[in-house]
Amino acid sequence: MAEDITTLITGLGFPSVEAFIALLIIAIAVIALIAVISTIRPVLSMYPYTYPNARVRARKGRLFTDKQYTEILESQSLEEVKNYLRGIPDYTKYIDEFPLEKALDTQLAETYDLVARIAPDNSKDAFNFLLKKWDIRNIKSIIIAKEAGLDADETMNLLVPFGELSDKLNTLVDAENVTEVLNGLEGTDYAPILEDALPVYQETGILLPLEASLDKYLLENLLRTAATPEDDNTAYLHEYIGNIVDISNIKIILRAKADGLNFEDIEPYMISNGYQVREWKLKDLMESEDVAGVVNGLEGTDYAPMLSESLNDYQETGSIATFETALDHHVNETANRISLKNQFGIGPMIGYLNKKEKEIKNLKTIVRGKKEQDLSTSVIKEMLV
């Protein structure tokens, strides 16, 4: 047999068996290298997400179940709600430290903070930027409190101790009025944004332009951080944030059209560029005659079918809540779809944050419902998302 192989090798033009073996070894080495590179590359792209995804999936497993919602809904008083939440490890830490709603918001802020800390490098910027949400929320709470004349303790109860401004909160709360609050923000990213909206506030006394400018800053920049998708993960993140931005714009336009406002009234509150609803489309929508015109103008986007379905309800009730519910449902569906499609990437983090937001929203609905003595359990249950 050995002679046959030698004959075959020399017949193939190799000077010796050793030369053939050397070539064979080189061929095996090349094949091995190709196999290693082609299999390792996709695996390594999953690698940075394994740790954070295990952590968020553990937390996802601790989210409220239907049974837990039923149990907490059966609480007879706010104190019972508090006792129930005291038994849930994620909430225990804050329940005795803060008033109930502040405790829930603080837990949500802590969740965002955790996700930003454990997120892999290629999606860290967006999650870090998302933390500004808490600064913006706090600034809005402070200026509303100043306008409403709340004292320092009452104002502090509205604030969440997270975000870049957490060290400055005491100083801001001590400010005498809205203008002083804005002066206290000097040197932060928020000062120039609020300065532009300040003249309108000083002229009209309406806080909305200040609040809208902060929301606009957050969403515009958030979309920008994910605007150049480097891979599937950042593309999914862009899709999710893009949907939130589009829906924020659509909600503002629908509300404005229901109130009969025109282009000039709406334009300052728009986030200039969306995901599916780009700048030119936004202009068309703002110029629409009425709510039906806005819904028709969205033809060709993912939002059109659900809004068309809700149009009849709107025409019967005159309430745009039906559109808002459908749009919120779309964001939840998008997060859920991404979390299932991209299980080894950013999907579980997006899915979890969305579900956590829903949980906090529901718990706050329950807390507020229990505060209103005349609201029955079944009515509160219907209000849950």
Establish if 40 lies at the interface with another protein (CB under 8 A).
yes
Alpha-helical regions (H) of 342-385:
347-371, 377-383
Q: By C-beta, is 34 or 321 nearer to another protein?
A: 34
| Contact between 93 and another protein per CB under 8 A | no
Residue 79 dihedral angles phi and psi, to the nearest 5°: -60, -40
Of 10, 14, 60, 124, the residue at the interface with another protein (CB under 8 A) is 60
Among 46, 148, 152, 385, binds another protein (CB under 8 A): 46
CB of 338 vs another protein, minimal distance in Å: 16
Part in contact with another protein (CB under 8 A); list of ranges 47-55, 102-110, 146-154, 251-259: 47-55
Asked if 298 and 307 touch (Cβ cutoff 8 Å), the reply is yes
87 binds another protein (CB under 8 A): no
Residue of 51, 97, 171, 279 that binds another protein (CB under 8 A): 51
Q: Is the Cβ of residue 39 or residue 317 nearer to another protein in the bound state? A: 39
Number of helical H runs and strand E runs in the chain: 21, 0
Residues 6+ apart with CB under 8 A from 173: 142, 145, 152, 155, 156, 159
The verdict on 19 binding another protein (CB under 8 A) reads no
Task: Give the number of residues in contact with another protein, rule: CB under 8 A.
Answer: 32
21 makes contact with another protein (CB under 8 A): yes
Instruction: Confirm or reject binding of residue 58 to another protein (CB under 8 A).
Output: yes
Which is nearest to 233 in space by CA: 110, 119, 352? 119
Does the protein bind another protein through residue 274 (CB under 8 A)?
A: no
| Contact status: 47 vs another protein (CB under 8 A) | yes
Of the candidate residues 14, 273, 344, 364, the single one contacting another protein (CB under 8 A)? 344
- Minimum distance, C-beta of residue 57 to another protein, in the bound complex (Å): 4
User: CB–CB of 230/122 below 8 Å?
Assistant: yes
Which residues neighbour 255 within 8 Å (Cβ) at sequence distance 6 or greater?
Answer: 320
34 binds another protein (CB under 8 A): no
Q: Which of 19, 30, 35, 206 binds another protein (CB under 8 A)?
A: 35
> How far apart are alpha carbons 68 and 91 in whole angstroms?
14
x/- contact string, 94-133, with another protein (CB under 8 A)?
Answer: ------------------------x---------------
What's the CA gap between 217 and 212, in Å, rounded? 9
Tokens of 104: 């829930």
- Is residue 43 within the footprint of another protein (CB under 8 A)? yes
Work out whether 2 is an interface residue with another protein (CB under 8 A): yes
**Residue of 52, 242, 297, 345 interacting with another protein (CB under 8 A):** 52
* For another protein, the closer CB: 40 or 383: 40
Alpha carbon distance, N-terminus to C-terminus of the chain: 76
Q: What string of DSSP letters covers 208-233?
A: HHHHHHHHHHHHHHHHHHTSS--SHH
Report the alpha-carbon distance of residue 243 to residue 5 in Å, rounded: 66
From 15-23, 215-223, 229-237, 253-261, give the range in contact with another protein by CB under 8 A.
15-23
Residue 177 structure tokens: 């009025």
Q: Does 57 bind another protein (CB under 8 A)?
A: yes
For Cα atoms 243, 249, 253, give the angle at the middle one, nearest 5 degrees: 140
* Residue appearing with tokens 């609020």: 194
| Integer-rounded Cα radius of gyration of the chain | 28
Cβ-contact 314, 323 below 8 angstroms: yes
Q: Which residues bind another protein (CB under 8 A)?
A: 1-2, 5, 17-18, 21, 24-25, 28, 32, 35-36, 39-40, 43, 46-47, 50-55, 57-61, 118, 343-344, 348
